[in-house]
A and B are shown apart, each in its own frame.
Chain A
Amino acid sequence: MYVAVKGGEAAIANAHRLLADRRRGDRTVPALTLEQIAGQLSLAVDRVMAEGSLYDPDLAAMAVRQARGDLIEAIFLIRAYRTTLPRFAASQPIETGRMRIERRISATYKDLPGGQLLGPTFDYTHRLIDPEMAKDGDVAAAERRETAGDSHAPRVTDILGDEALIEGDGDRAGEAEPADLTRSPLGFPTGRDLRLQALARGDEGFLLALGYSTQRGYGRTHPFVGEVRIGFVDVEVELPEFGFAVTIGRVRVTECQMISQFTGSKEEPPQFTRGYGLVFGQSERKAMAMSLVDRALRADEFDEERRSPAQDEEFVLAHSDNIQATGFVEHLKLPHYVDFQAELELLRRMRREGDRPAEEGDETE
């Protein structure tokens, strides 16, 4: 008897050729340019950068194009690319208080210093498909209004913090080297530094569902958006060749300060607690979900009972990475012929034994 042990090379080659053909689509339609993807599908590009954990809009646009718009596939490409590059340095922590703000809102203070700046938001749109989207009509330039000030604004938590009604940012921990899950495997329990790194690259949908679950009662939060801000921050790196920190460019980030239920103890007066979200690109849904989950995962700090999935760090962090998740789920489609044959054989034997009329010898087990 002969058993097939290899094959499919021609099928695979042709499948990839077909993939390339389908990716390009109708040749009479112009191909998408990277500028079009980065410029007009910028929020898709931002998601790929955030969850790919690599800030590079051009590269993310290439990945989106190669992946035919499958964003998790694009994130996979970015993750694979980053493993091919050496790491030169770590940046100085970015200063979100010095952000050049493009959008900044607070749901807790109407008149907060710096004001409410709506920016380019989907909020207050009617969420009705615009027939104009089927055409390529002219779009008016954005309205401008002169302003004397710079585009910085104090973080809302610094404003409330002055009254000590809200917990502070915590100890800077002597600027200790933060944990890095790209360098050492995830182990539990984790510090907040490692959790925030994992959440920042975690799947938006997963974090959204977990954040939602805390609102519906699976976890203890009664959150307010202290502030969401989107804008550019400088990236500064201290390089040995200079001997001082230099700005190497700027990145767009979204930051969310979620103010949550207050607690007090014998040592601490009652005060609001906080969850924190920080994400590459413009993604306030992700930043808000992240801040809800960050707060839920701090249950032990506030002596809260951990009863819900969003409070269980092992559950959250072990499943938040969509590349790990898709790898394990999608591997099921790869050949499992031998495994399956073994189970099939076992099942047949069980059936045969079940069909057989009971004989005296069978009863002995």
Chain B
Amino acid sequence: MQIAESALSNDQPQVNSTGLANKKTAYYRVNFTGQAGEYFKIWIVNIALSIVTLGIYSAWAKVRTQQYFHTNTLINGTGFQYHGQPLNILKGRIIAVVLFVLYSFAVNSMPIIALPVMLIFVIALPWIVIRALAFNARMTSFRGIRFNFEASYGEAFQIVLLWPLLIIVTFGLIIPLIKHKYYEFVINHSSMGTTSFRYNGKISEMFIIYLIAMAIAAGISTAMMIIGMVFALFAGLASAADESSALMIWLASSGASIVIVLYLALYLLMWAFIKTKTTNLIFNNLSLDEHRFYADLNFSQMAIIQFTNTLAIIFSLGLAYPWAAIRMTRYQACCIQVIVSDNLDNIIAGEIKKVGALGDEAAGIFDVELAI
């Protein structure tokens, strides 16, 4: 496969002729131009102003952040646009926070009403998910054309509630199927203007990803168990020799911290593996009309970036966060290509619908899994 680097200044990408339908195919690598220093300034001002305004500015902060990441994500020199309005987001946030406080208070003080409240939330969940996806899609545009997301409650109900119910019964074996259904649901109901996205991934590929992930997890867990046992053994020997031995306490506590570190490493590896492979799977099976996508994220690269990012954030007490976020986004962006058939000019706008920010914020506060 021939790959062309698209640069901002270069308006003439490398072009391949397919010869078949007399249409030209062009490859555009997604180009992320965000800079760590630039984002750090935006980020720190966002946090400082959010503190000073007791959280009110956080709605503006969200819009600034989204705009920064959108405008700096370029395809053939054109950036994405973010249209979210701070006041809408603030309204959604206030409602979500009030709901959250009421919920925590109710559950803490009157455990009896926890169940009915939970039930109402569960019934509302598919609706919240639809609203959140729709809000994010409609607030984003490319080349002046807005994205859109539309789905019925029934479909969302299946994805969000029905299938996940089977996780316990099937001992988690159904998770790849749920993930597959979820991506199918999100992508097939998304569109750019009047043109729909299509997802053609196979369930079997998703199963393979999770199978390998499980093998990695099993390997590391075994290592963890062995290390734990060795430390317990030494700790036992030490305490047999001397009951209040400092060595024994040291062994027990350092054994515990090694297990915690290994657990974090395991989590990180699993995250990197699943993220890498599902991103590749999704983009390689994604299409928009005749346009296609190609992603070749590398597992070890992702794991190294995520690992060093985590270390940097911990040791800088969080100050390295902007650098880490930019670095991760840049790597992911440059691994994704858009395979344009003919040109990108023929996507027609749809009717612009208004959507409140409530779903988006409520989803964020209640920690609904929405990430692709």
To the question of whether A and B form a pair in one complex, the answer is no
